[in-house]
Structure 1
Amino acid sequence: MNDIIKQYVIEKEPYYRPVADEVELYEATYAVRMPMMLKGPTGCGKTRFVEHMAWKLNKPLITVACNEDMTASDLVGRFLLDASGTRWQDGPLAIAARHGAICYLDEVVEARQDTTVVIHPLTDARRVLPLEKKGELIQAHPDFQLVISYNPGYQSLMKDLKQSTKQRFGALDFNYPNHEIETEIVTHETGVSGEVASKLVSIAERARNLKGHGLDEGISTRMLIYAGSLIATGVNPHAACRVALVRPITDDPDMRDALDAAVTTFF
């Protein structure tokens, strides 16, 4: 493995608690190099799952956080000017395809559609990436796999994947785990007691029931880990929940009062 790709190898196992058969299914899709799409709400463990699988398969992982300003050149590469003249620099997608990494495009629908079109030749039988500016055609390395994630519930009709893109991928659905599993995750990640973790999960479940009724998004597992981490350092649970759970997800005074009341119920 060369130095370019070695930096993307995950050395330490990222903790991931399987919820169903997603680990086995992903291993099967990697075996046939099927492009994969992970669908689910923000902060439910999609990124951690990809990190865990890359570690388990012992493959480098190149992650790209997609945004609306991202261009095709940001993904595939561009010519740069330095003291020696002009040189080509591969983008993250080109590095992954050339050297055999898993390339993870996080929240892919945030990118413009004219940008995401560049992934199409990599997601069918061709498995190629054209570098049009350079006049090169990269034949994807046998170990290369493309993984994308997005949150279907958050996207508007203007911001959704085209069918021509979706149908190139296999898909795994993710959601927040059930109470016992989520409690186990929060306990493991933060060091708080099972009792405290269970209370945090109960607060999140209350908030998730309000999604679409005043809240755009529920409280995620990631946010519970933030709250638990604060409590583990000695922060008062009410203050920890205010900072990590309630204030980030809403500015509406009535909704904040309702969530603060839920915190008071459990703590």
Structure 2
Amino acid sequence: MSEIKVDPKQYIVKDEPYYEAVNDEIELYQSAYDVRMPMMIKGPTGCGKSRFVEHMAWKLGKPLISVACNEDMTASDLVGRFLLDKDGTKWQDGPLTTAARIGAICYLDEIVEARQDTTVVIHPLTDHRRELPLDKKGELVKAHPDFQLVISYNPGYQSLMKDLKQSTKQRFGGMDFDYPETELEVAIVTKESGVDQAIAEKLVQIAHRARNLKGHGLDEGISTRLLVYAGQLIAKGVAAEAACSMTMITPLTDDPDMRDTLNAAVQTFLG
């Protein structure tokens, strides 16, 4: 029996991810990392949570291992499993175990999507023990001194069936994220998409109109990510209305009345 080895260098973020600080989140996260505090990042879809974590991994020069959580994810998907091949049985670490071994930041995106019986495996890594039992392998992994666990989720989608247990929540420090203020969001859309500032301002105005509809026909407002998508299409020569329909309306809702409302907002600012 052997193990499948990994090269930590493959998880290093080589190029600086573009990120504009909204408040003092960079300094706060830096301090949390200095004491290896597990961190919980909460905020709406597409507001920059994942980009922030990627930026901080780059800034700190640490490997980053990201996992998109889902309801079918098992504990073995996180921790690892035995695999069979022509040479026999091999143990393959899961992303959580790999991060603990090599001293990476392990980022579990949308943690509430995972089953609660899966998320409990992170508990021993988020207190004074900083260890991960591999029951199937009979090994106790002591986390590397540089290891940190970061989780994120969207509080807007919380329910009694999809929320973290208090026994999990109280193992983390927390940071709230939201969409940037108008001026900063315009700057982000301009930088990321390549459109001029005037177009970016109009896209942000449409987004503000849509975000006011959250809870009144929309489950979620137009994210900064979708504004960047729209801007990228416009920068490539796609008509503004078609670009907005494709990126900011069709993905958001199937309700005809709500689509009419959003189309009216597009017409108002870009027509």
TM-score bucket of the superposed structures, by smaller chain: over 0.9
| 1:145 matched to 2:148 | yes
Q: Determine the C-alpha separation between the residues in 1 that align with 2:157 and 2:111.
A: 12
| Per-residue deviation, 1:119 | 0.0
Question: Shift in Å at residue 231 of structure 1?
Answer: 0.3
- Residue 195 of structure 1 aligns with an amino acid whose one-letter code is A
Q: Could you tell me which residue of structure 1 aligns to residue 116 of structure 2?
A: 113
Residue 52 (structure 2) pairs with residue 49 (structure 1): yes
Q: Which residue of 2 aligns with 1:255?
A: 258
Please state how far the C-alpha of 1:3 moved relative to its aligned partner: 5.4
Question: Please, which runs of 5 or more residues in structure 2 have no aligned partner?
Answer: none
Give the letter aligned to residue 195 of structure 2. Answer: V
SS at match of 2:199: helix
1:264 corresponds to: 267
| Structure 1 residue 240 displacement after superposition | 0.3
Q: 2:171 maps to which residue?
A: 168
2:30 corresponds to 1:27:
yes
| Residue of 94, 99, 103 corresponding to 1:96 | 99
CA distance in 1 between counterparts of 2:204 and 2:40 reads: 27
What does residue 77 of structure 1 align with?
Answer: 80
- 3-state SS, counterpart of residue 20 of structure 1: coil
Q: What is the Cα deviation at residue 7 of structure 1?
A: 0.7
How far apart are the structure 2 equivalents of 1:248 and 1:206?
16
Aligned residue for 2:72, secondary structure, equals: coil
Match of 1:134 in 2: 137
SS at structure 1 position matched to 2:175: strand
Deviations 1:23-54, CA, capped at 9 Å, x for gaps: 00000000000000000001000000000000
Pair 1:63 & 2:66 matched: yes
**Mapped partners of 1:157, 1:210: distance in 2:** 24
Deviations 1:183-234 (A, max 9, x none): 0000000110111001000000000000000000100000000000000000
TM-score, normalization by structure 1: 0.99
How big is each residue's C-alpha offset from its partner over 1:40-88, in whole Å with a ceiling of 9 and x where there is no partner?
0010000000000000000000000000000000000000011111111
Quote the residue 1:201 is aligned against.
204
SS of match in other structure, 1:217: coil
* Counterpart residue type for residue 213 of structure 1: H
Give the Cα separation in 2 of the matches to 1:125 and 1:3.
Answer: 27
* Residues 79-125 of structure 1 deviation map (CA, whole Å, 9 limit, x = unaligned): 00111111110000000001100000000000000000000000000
1:248 counterpart SS class:
coil
Moved over 4 A (4+): none
Shift of 1:157: 1.3
Aligned to 2:187: 184
SS at match of 2:83: strand
Q: Distance in 2 between matches of 1:16 and 1:63?
A: 18
* Secondary structure of the structure 1 residue equivalent to 2:71: coil
Deviations 1:4-24 (A, max 9, x none): 211110100000000000000
Tell whether 2:41 aligns with 1:38.
yes
Measured in 2, the distance between the counterparts of 1:99 and 1:176 equals 33
Question: If the length of structure 2 is used for normalisation, what is the TM-score?
Answer: 0.97
SS at match of 2:251: helix
Aligned equivalents of 2:161 and 2:6: distance in 1? 40
How many residues in Structure 1 have an aligned counterpart in Structure 2?
266
> Following TM superposition, by how much is the alpha carbon of 1:153 offset from its aligned partner in structure 2, in angstroms?
1.1
Distance in 1 (CA, whole Å) between partners of 2:58 and 2:153 is: 22
Q: Which amino acid is 1:209 matched to?
A: N
After superposition, the CA RMSD in angstroms is: 0.8
Paired with 2:215 and 2:224, the residues of 1 have a C-alpha distance of 19
SS of 1:215's equivalent in the other structure is coil
